[in-house]
Amino acid sequence: MDLYYPVNTFGPAMKGMVLGGLGIFHVFLAMFAIGGGMLMCYFQWLAQTGRNPYARRFVDDYFKLLVLISFVVGAVTGVAMWFVSIQVSPRTIGMMVGEFHWVWGIEWTFFSLEITAGYCFYRYSKVLTDTARFRLLLIYAVASWFSLFWINGILSWQLTPGNWPETRWMWDGFFNPSFFPSLLFRTVTAMTVGSLVACVVINAVPWLDRPAKESLIHRAAHLLAPMALMPFLGAWFLFTMPPDSRAMALGGNITMTMFMGASIGASALIGLYALVGMLRQQLYINGATASLLCMLAFVATGGGEFVREGVRKPYSIRKTLYSNSVTQADVARLRKIGCVTNDPYPMRNPEQYPNEQLLLGAKVYRFHCSVCHTVNGANGLSELCSSWSTEQKRLNIAQLQRTKAFMPPFAGNNLELEALVQYVSWENANRPADWKETDDPAVLEQIQRWLDEVGVESGIVLEEHLTQGSTH
Amino acid sequence: MDTVFPFGFPGPTAFYLTLLVAVFMIHVLFMNYVLAGSAYLAAHTVLFGSADDGTPLSRILRDWLPFMLSAAITAGIAPLLFLQIVYRENFYTANLLLFYRWMAILPVLIAGFYLLYILKSKRIGHWPFVARAAVGVGAFAGFMFVAWSWVENHLLSVHPDVWVEQYASGVLVYRPFELFPRLALWVVGSFPTMALMLAWQVWWESRLDTGMPTAEQTRGAHRTAMIALIAIVLTSICAGAYSLLMPPAARDVVFSMLTLPYVILSVIGVTLELIAWVPQLRAGRLKLVWLSVATVGLMLHFCGMTVINESTRLAAIDISTRYAEHAASAKIGGRWAFGFFLLLNLGLMAYCIRLTSMRRPPEETIETPEKP
A 178-207 → B contacts, CB under 8 A: 207
Query: Looking at residues A331-337, what average pLDDT do you find?
Result: 96
Instruction: Return the residue of B nearest to A80 by Cα.
Output: B106
Secondary structure of A239-295 in HEC code, one letter for each residue: HHCCHHHHHHHHHHCHHHHHHHHHHHHHHHHHHHHHHHHHHCCCCCCCHHHHHHHHH
Query: Looking at residues A45-72, what average pLDDT do you find?
Result: 90
A 76-105 → B contacts, CB under 8 A: 76-77, 79-80, 82-84, 86-87, 90, 93-94, 97-105
Within a domain: residue B279?
Answer: yes
Within a domain: residue B237?
Answer: yes
Cβ–Cβ < 8 Å for B356, B43: no
CATH 1.10.10 fits A15-321, yes or no: no
Predicted confidence at residue B372, as pLDDT, reads 41
Lowest mean pLDDT among A303-307, A352-356, B137-141: A303-307
Within a domain: residue B15?
Answer: yes
What is the number of domains present in chain B?
Answer: 1
Predicted confidence at residue B246, as pLDDT, reads 86
At B315-346, the pLDDT tens digits run: 889 999 999 999 999 999 999 999 999 999 99
**Residue A287 contacts by C-beta under 8 Å, 6 or more apart in sequence?**
A200, A203, A204
A 22-61 → B contacts, CB under 8 A: 47, 50, 53-57
At A39-50, the pLDDT tens digits run: 999 999 999 999
Confidence band, pLDDT 50/70/90 cuts, at residue B129 = confident
Residue A280 φ/ψ, nearest 5 degrees: -90, 0
Q: Map out the domains of chain A as residue ranges.
A: 15-321, 328-470
Confidence band, pLDDT 50/70/90 cuts, at residue B371 = very low
Question: How distant is the Cα of B341 from the closest Cα of chain A, in angstroms?
Answer: 6
Instruction: Check CB contact under 8 Å for A105 and B338.
Output: yes
Confidence band, pLDDT 50/70/90 cuts, at residue B1 = low
Confidence band, pLDDT 50/70/90 cuts, at residue A69 = confident
Residue B51 has pLDDT above 80, yes or no: no
Predicted confidence at residue A11, as pLDDT, reads 87
Residue A408 has pLDDT above 70, yes or no: yes
Choose from B16, B20, B62, B70 for mutation: most chain A CBs within 10 A: B70
Lowest mean pLDDT among A230-244, A458-472, B245-259: A458-472
Residue A472 has pLDDT above 60, yes or no: no
Within a domain: residue B292?
Answer: yes
- A6 at the B interface (CB within 8 A)? yes
Choose from B201, B348, B363 for mutation: most chain A CBs within 10 A: B348
Instruction: Check CB contact under 8 Å for B333 and A116.
Output: no
- Beta bridge partners of residue A315, listed in sequence order: A322
In this structure, the number of other CB atoms found within 10 A of the CB of residue B2 comes to 7
Instruction: Check CB contact under 8 Å for A117 and B353.
Output: no
Residues of A in contact with B113 (CB under 8 A): 72, 76
Within a domain: residue B345?
Answer: no
Please give the mean pLDDT across all residues of chain B: 91
Taken in order A59, A60, A61, A62, the sign of the CA dihedral is: positive
In this structure, the number of other CB atoms found within 10 A of the CB of residue B34 comes to 29
Instruction: Check CB contact under 8 Å for A72 and B99.
Output: no
Strands A315-317 and A321-322: antiparallel
Confidence band, pLDDT 50/70/90 cuts, at residue B80 = very high
The Cα–Cα gap between B272 and A434 comes to 73
Residues of A in contact with B31 (CB under 8 A): none
Percent of chain A past pLDDT 90, that is, above it, reads: 82
Confidence band, pLDDT 50/70/90 cuts, at residue A66 = confident
The Cα–Cα gap between A156 and A134 comes to 32
Distances (CA, A) of B314 to B13, B17, B253, B254, B319: 12, 10, 8, 10, 7
At B206-215, the pLDDT tens digits run: 887 666 778 8
Residues of A in contact with B371 (CB under 8 A): 207
Question: How distant is the Cα of B241 from the closest Cα of chain A, in angstroms?
Answer: 33
The Cα–Cα gap between B155 and B150 comes to 9
Which residues span the domain enclosing B251?
11-328
Residues of B in contact with A113 (CB under 8 A): 345, 348-349, 352
Choose from B332, B346, B357 for mutation: most chain A CBs within 10 A: B332
Residue A308 has pLDDT above 70, yes or no: yes
A 121-140 → B contacts, CB under 8 A: 123-124, 127-129, 131-132, 135-136, 139
Residue A28 has pLDDT above 90, yes or no: yes
| A-B C-beta contacts closer than 8 Å | 200
Q: Highest mean pLDDT: which of A278-287, A461-470, B33-42?
A: B33-42
CA A195 to chain centre: 23
Residue A441 has pLDDT above 70, yes or no: yes
**Residue A468 contacts by C-beta under 8 Å, 6 or more apart in sequence?**
none
Residues of A in contact with B80 (CB under 8 A): 79, 82
SS3 content of chain A, % helix, strand, coil (to 5): 75, 0, 25
At B178-213, the pLDDT tens digits run: 999 999 999 999 999 999 999 999 999 888 766 677
Predicted confidence at residue A274, as pLDDT, reads 85
Please give the mean pLDDT across all residues of chain A: 93
Question: How distant is the Cα of B24 from the closest Cα of chain A, in angstroms?
Answer: 14
Instruction: Return the residue of B nearest to A111 by Cα.
Output: B74
Instruction: Return the residue of A nearest to B103 by Cα.
Output: A83
Query: Looking at residues A291-307, what average pLDDT do you find?
Result: 94
Residues of B in contact with A147 (CB under 8 A): none
Within a domain: residue B3?
Answer: no
Distances (CA, A) of B274 to B192, B203, B233, B262, B279: 10, 19, 9, 18, 9
More confident residue, B370 or A163: A163
**Residue B188 contacts by C-beta under 8 Å, 6 or more apart in sequence?**
B231, B234, B235, B238
The Cα–Cα gap between A324 and A401 comes to 13
Question: How distant is the Cα of B136 from the closest Cα of chain A, in angstroms?
Answer: 18
At B293-318, the pLDDT tens digits run: 999 999 999 999 999 999 999 988 99
At A360-406, the pLDDT tens digits run: 999 999 999 999 999 999 999 999 999 999 999 999 999 999 999 99
Predicted confidence at residue A129, as pLDDT, reads 95
Question: How distant is the Cα of B128 from the closest Cα of chain A, in angstroms?
Answer: 25
Instruction: Check CB contact under 8 Å for B355 and A53.
Output: no
Query: Looking at residues A322-347, what average pLDDT do you find?
Result: 96
A 149-178 → B contacts, CB under 8 A: 169-171
Cβ–Cβ < 8 Å for A286, A306: no
Cβ–Cβ < 8 Å for A214, A284: yes
Q: Which of B97, B325, B355 has its CB closest to that of A132?
A: B355
Instruction: Check CB contact under 8 Å for A98 and B167.
Output: no
Predicted confidence at residue B295, as pLDDT, reads 97
Q: pTM of the predicted model, to two decimals?
A: 0.93
Q: Which of A5, A73, A112 has its CB closest to that of B92?
A: A5
Query: Looking at residues B3-30, what average pLDDT do you find?
Result: 95
Q: Which of A55, A98, A120 has its CB closest to that of B329?
A: A98
Residues of A in contact with B106 (CB under 8 A): 76-77, 79-80, 83
Predicted confidence at residue B368, as pLDDT, reads 54
Confidence band, pLDDT 50/70/90 cuts, at residue B369 = low
More confident residue, A469 or A354: A354
Q: Which of B70, B77, B351 has its CB closest to that of A108?
A: B77
Instruction: Check CB contact under 8 Å for B117 and A68.
Output: yes
